[in-house]
């Protein structure tokens, strides 16, 4: 009990000093997805993407735009995720996205806007920026699952002596410890090239189900069991971190390949 009081005080101190962030992947994760995808675009589609974005912009520079506008465009908040119940094995759009107000529906909507030649230039640019971001969001497992814990934000954890929440851990907490961004990109890029044929297929809804499966199997399935008071934060173990790192790498690699697949088939 003394140990847990100490850990909880340590967690509170960490929370005050530097809490983990709360958006999917954080800028570093979205940047990795964009860089992988850019390398997977056909030359013609890459030129089209740059044309749509306009001078001075790239997929990398706009990868986190949808997060940056969330506070001023609150209606976009639900567009970043889909609440597939963690105890259900499959997506049900009528249950999980009844009003078409979820990340799956918005990717499909903005993909259609990109494809439509009648879409005004500014709306096409906005659609592209949302698609780049939302495909990344979809591959963050906590953005494709619902465990009645506010996307993991209500699950308090301690990670290397710092307090946070499960959602922030999966957004950036783990990724920030995985290495230099350029080294990670090179590693992820090579994996993306090796598995392109395997990953560059399926639908947005298929990808959501796969991301949801990662939440069930790893995010929650491998989470250290809480045997002490429920109010005590869960201490993230080295074993959990190792499994989570592998899952995060795979999700970001798949997101990059699939974003390119979506753009290559939409803007060809």
Could you report the per-residue pLDDT of 232-255, keeping only the tens digit for each? Answer: 899 999 999 999 999 999 999 999
Answer for the pair 174, 248: CB distance below 8 angstroms, yes or no. yes
What's the pLDDT at 264?
A: 98
Q: How far apart are CA 42 and CA 61, in angstroms?
A: 19
Q: How far apart are CA 204 and CA 175, in angstroms?
A: 24
Name the least confident of 23-37, 191-205, 252-266: 23-37
- 2-67+90-266, what's its fold? P1 Nuclease (1.10.575)
Answer for the pair 60, 31: CB distance below 8 angstroms, yes or no. yes
pLDDT for 18-40, tens place per residue? 333 346 788 999 999 999 999 99
pLDDT for 67-110, tens place per residue? 999 999 999 999 999 999 999 999 999 999 989 999 999 999 99
Would you place residue 229 in the very low, low, confident or very high pLDDT band (cuts 50, 70, 90)? low
What's the pLDDT at 57?
A: 97
Using left for φ > 0, alpha for ψ between -120 and 50, and beta otherwise, residue 143 falls in: alpha
Q: What is the pTM of this model?
A: 0.90
Q: Where are the domains of the chain?
A: 2-67+90-266
Q: Which residue is it, tokens 């999917």?
A: 24
Element (H, E) at 158: strand 156-159
Q: How far apart are CA 160 and CA 177, in angstroms?
A: 10
Would you place residue 228 in the very low, low, confident or very high pLDDT band (cuts 50, 70, 90)? low
What's the pLDDT at 1?
A: 41
- Rounded to whole angstroms, the maximal C-alpha distance in the chain is 66
**Average pLDDT of the chain?**
91
């Amino acid at each position: 009990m003394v140990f847990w009081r100490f850990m909880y005080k340590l967690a509170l101190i960490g929370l005050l000093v530097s809490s983990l962030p709360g958006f999917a992947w954080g800028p570093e994760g979205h940047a990795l997805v964009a860089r992988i995808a850019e390398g997977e675009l056909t030359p013609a589609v890459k030129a089209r993407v740059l044309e749509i974005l306009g001078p001075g912009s790239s997929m990398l520079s706009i990868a986190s735009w949808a997060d940056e506008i969330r506070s001023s465009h609150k209606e976009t908040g639900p567009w970043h995720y889909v609440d597939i119940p963690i105890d259900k094995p499959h997506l049900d759009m009528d249950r999980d996205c009844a009003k078409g107000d979820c990340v799956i529906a918005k990717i499909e909507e903005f993909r259609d806007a990109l494809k439509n030649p009648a879409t005004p230039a500014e709306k096409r640019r906005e659609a592209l920026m949302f698609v780049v971001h939302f495909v990344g969001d979809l591959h963050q497992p906590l953005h494709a699952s619902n465990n009645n814990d506010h996307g993991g934000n209500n699950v308090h954890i301690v990670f290397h002596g710092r307090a946070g929440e499960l959602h922030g851990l999966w957004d950036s907490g783990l990724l920030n410890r995985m290495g230099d961004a350029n080294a990670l990109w090179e590693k992820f890029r090579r994996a993306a090239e090796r598995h392109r044929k395997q990953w560059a297929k399926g639908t947005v809804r298929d990808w959501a189900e796969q991301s949801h499966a990662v939440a069930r199997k790893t995010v929650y399935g491998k989470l250290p069991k809480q045997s002490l008071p429920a109010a005590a934060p869960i201490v993230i173990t080295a074993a959990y971190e190792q499994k989570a790192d592998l899952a995060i790498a795979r999700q970001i690699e798949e997101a990059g390949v699939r974003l390119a697949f979506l753009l290559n088939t939409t803007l060809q």
